Amino acid sequence: MADFVLDASAILAYLQQEPGADRVESLLLDQRCLLLTVNLTEVLTRLADWNVPLAEAERHLVAMDLAIVPFDQTLARLAAELRPATRALGLSLGDRACLALAKARNVAAVTADRAWLQLDPGLGISVESIRGDAT
């Protein structure tokens, strides 16, 4: 069983049954999926924007059986190091944090954002877009 790091966009696509939700569902059923606390905050915030009560949002996430990973100093440094390589793509702190975890664990980052597929392969980060190809 492989590990995958899920980006907030992939979680939200799954919860909203958007294109790519089936890929996220298959990962949740067959693999160990990690969610960084930064990206957890993004998911909970977006659900709050959609008027989903926090308790209900948390129930959905618990049902997904994600391994929640704390954002620590090592990941913060890795995310900062990714800034020059991701600035032109418009990647956010949350995006870079997710990528930092994928790099640190040497696993694929899964996102709904196709821009991530344009990352320099020399960064050594495997990316899978639930709406496109993998790198």
What would the pLDDT profile of 56-69 be if each residue is shown by its tens digit? 999 999 999 999 99
Distances in Å between the Cα of 23 and the Cα atoms of 13, 70, 72, 119, 129 are: 10, 25, 28, 21, 9
Token pair recorded at residue 134: 């993998």
Tell me how crowded residue 45 is: count the other CB atoms within 10 A of its CB: 13
Q: Answer yes or no: is 74 within a domain.
A: yes
Strand order, beta sheet including 32-36: 67-69, 32-36, 3-6, 108-111, 127-129
Q: Answer yes or no: is 95 within a domain.
A: yes
Indicate which CATH number applies to the domain containing 79. 3.40.50.1010
Tell me how crowded residue 27 is: count the other CB atoms within 10 A of its CB: 21
Q: What is the mean pLDDT of residues 93-121?
A: 95
Q: Answer yes or no: is 134 within a domain.
A: no
pLDDT class of 133 with cuts at 50, 70, 90: low
Question: Which pLDDT value is given to residue 135?
Answer: 57
Exposed, middle or buried by CB within 10 Å (0-12, 13-18, 19+), for 115?
A: middle
Is 26 in a helix, a strand, or coil?
Answer: helix
Q: Answer yes or no: is 135 within a domain.
A: no
The rounded mean pLDDT for the chain is: 94
Question: Which pLDDT value is given to residue 132?
Answer: 72
Query: pTM value?
Result: 0.93
What would the pLDDT profile of 30-42 be if each residue is shown by its tens digit? 999 999 999 999 9
Q: Answer yes or no: is 88 within a domain.
A: yes
- Closest by CA position to 8, among listed 39, 32, 34: 39
What would the pLDDT profile of 7-30 be if each residue is shown by its tens digit? 999 999 999 999 999 999 999 999
- % residues pLDDT > 70 (the chain): 96
Cβ atoms 34, 4 nearer than 8 A = yes
Give the number of domains in the chain: 1
Could you list the residue range(s) of the whole structural domain that residue 108 is in? 3-129
